[in-house]
């Protein structure tokens, strides 16, 4: 196990009705005027925004709304949010929604006190001296942005999707009420579960030895996501299934399963260009990329893939031929993705093989490679994209 520093100060308020106390939470933190950032009109129609604003009013805190966040959040709305916060003297940002809303809120928080273009942070041209505090009311179990230091934004000029990480934008608190996720469409529930699994998998496939504890933790979270996703899809109102998925979302990306080990993240980099270009859900794009990545890098560490197959997917261990077990695990993973309604090929997200040169052109490759489990150059990335173009196998 490698040396590590673990820091996660986000305070979690978990359970039924916790959104009704958001005003008191912000008042205790010194917030005096709040930007309520959200996505679609469903947040208004459901009464959630009303409950949030009512709580703020009871705490004596004025607020201004900014809706319109879409999946794969756009830079234009971030700029609008920065301008609105400055005009209204906002000193606290409350994200009410899923990962896209939270990521957009984090980017706004970065930009308000900064004199230049907020995209400078994503380009590595600047580092934040400060940021507005961010709180969240989570409505989608998926991205884990509710307690992570990461934001991912799509820049409309060139349609490139980039991540940025800073502890300055880690939410100061997050409200997790599983009841807020019961009305999600099945596809969104499944896409969120895939995103969670990907966050574990990016940490699980590592070259670091001696990490049995975090191996076992990651495997346990994957097993829980697997079972609870099926339960939630069968009965969307199953509170315990929704609660387990919501907590899994947080654990999968707050790095508790990733400390002390080298992490990969090549699949995320490859997927970001898919969702930027085709506007597919992030989880759906990961469902296409992850099995293709696995097939491409499997020979690097057959035993780790066999362990993944045995412990997570229950495949029978072939000790004489561990590669057989390893490949069975990838097939089992892909079969699960298809069972929950996820795509596993380019065509299913309306991606085109002819666009691979464009995807590679947009891909950010630092030091000529991405990933760490296997360092991938541009040729490797092209081969993975082409593997992802293959039509799905019959069930």
**Spacing of C-alpha 375 from chain mean position:** 22
Model pLDDT, residue 391? 84
Contacts of 309 (CB under 8 A, 6+ apart): 315, 325, 326, 328, 329, 330, 332
Place 360 in a pLDDT band, splitting at 50, 70 and 90.
very high
Q: Answer whether residue 327 shows pLDDT above 60.
A: yes
- How does the average pLDDT of the chain come out, rounded? 95
Model pLDDT, residue 158? 87
Model pLDDT, residue 394? 52
Contacts of 278 (CB under 8 A, 6+ apart): 285, 349, 350, 351
Q: Answer whether residue 92 shows pLDDT above 80.
A: yes
For each of the domains in the chain, give its residue range(s) and CATH number, in order of start: 11-180 (3.40.50.1970), 184-387 (1.20.1090.10)
pLDDT in tens, 102-120: 999 999 999 999 999 999 9
For the segment 133-159, the average pLDDT, to the nearest whole number, is: 95
Place 364 in a pLDDT band, splitting at 50, 70 and 90.
confident
Model pLDDT, residue 73? 94
Q: What is the reported pTM?
A: 0.94
Model pLDDT, residue 17? 96
Model pLDDT, residue 40? 82
Place 367 in a pLDDT band, splitting at 50, 70 and 90.
confident
pLDDT in tens, 243-291: 999 999 999 999 999 999 999 999 999 999 999 999 999 999 999 999 9
What is the percent of the chain where pLDDT is above 70?
Answer: 99
SS3 36: strand
For the segment 314-327, the average pLDDT, to the nearest whole number, is: 96
H/E stretch holding 320 reads none
Contacts of 115 (CB under 8 A, 6+ apart): none
Q: Answer whether residue 3 shows pLDDT above 90.
A: yes
Model pLDDT, residue 180? 96
Question: Which is nearest to 61 in space by CA: 97, 28, 99, 107?
Answer: 28
Q: What backbone phi and psi angles, to 5 degrees, belong to 202?
A: -60, -25
Burial class (CB in 10 A: 0-12, 13-18, 19+), 341: middle
Model pLDDT, residue 365? 81
């Amino acid at each position: 196990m490698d040396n590590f520093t673990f820091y996660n100060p986000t305070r979690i308020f978990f359970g039924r009705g916790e959104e009704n106390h958001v005003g008191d939470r912000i008042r205790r933190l010194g917030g005096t005027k709040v930007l309520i950032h959200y996505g679609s009109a469903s947040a208004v129609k459901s009464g959630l925004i009303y409950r949030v604003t009512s709580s703020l009013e009871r705490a004596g805190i004025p607020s201004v709304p900014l809706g319109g966040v879409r999946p794969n959040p756009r830079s234009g709305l971030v700029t609008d949010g920065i301008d609105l916060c400055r005009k209204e003297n906002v000193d606290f940002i409350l994200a009410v929604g899923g990962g896209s809303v939270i990521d957009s809120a984090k980017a706004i928080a970065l930009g308000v006190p900064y004199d230049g273009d907020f995209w400078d942070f994503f380009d590595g041209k600047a580092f934040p001296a400060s940021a507005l505090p961010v709180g969240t009311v989570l409505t989608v179990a998926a991205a884990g942005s509710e307690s992570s230091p990461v934001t991912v934004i799509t820049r409309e000029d060139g349609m490139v999707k980039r991540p940025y990480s800073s502890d300055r934008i880690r939410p100061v608190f997050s409200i997790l009420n599983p009841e807020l996720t019961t009305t999600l469409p099945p596809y969104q529930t499944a896409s969120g579960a895939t995103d969670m699994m990907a966050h574990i998998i990016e940490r699980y496939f590592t070259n670091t030895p001696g990490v049995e504890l975090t191996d076992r933790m990651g495997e346990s979270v994957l097993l829980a996501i697997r079972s609870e996703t099926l339960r939630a899809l069968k009965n969307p109102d199953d509170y315990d299934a929704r609660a387990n998925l919501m907590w899994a979302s947080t654990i999968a990306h707050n790095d508790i399963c990733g400390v002390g080990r080298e992490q990969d993240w090549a699949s995320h980099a490859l997927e970001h260009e898919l969702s930027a270009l085709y506007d597919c859900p992030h989880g759906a794009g990961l469902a296409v990329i992850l099995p293709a990545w696995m097939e491409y890098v499997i020979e690097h560490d057959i035993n780790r893939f066999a362990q993944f197959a045995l412990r997570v997917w229950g495949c029978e261990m072939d000790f004489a031929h561990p590669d057989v077990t390893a490949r069975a695990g990838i097939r089992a993973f892909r079969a699960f993705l298809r069972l929950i309604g996820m795509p596993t090929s380019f065509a299913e997200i309306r991606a085109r093989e002819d666009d691979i040169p464009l995807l590679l052109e947009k891909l950010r490759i630092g030091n000529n490679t991405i990933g760490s489990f296997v360092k991938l150059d541009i040729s490797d990335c092209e081969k993975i994209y082409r593997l992802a173009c293959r039509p799905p196998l019959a069930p």
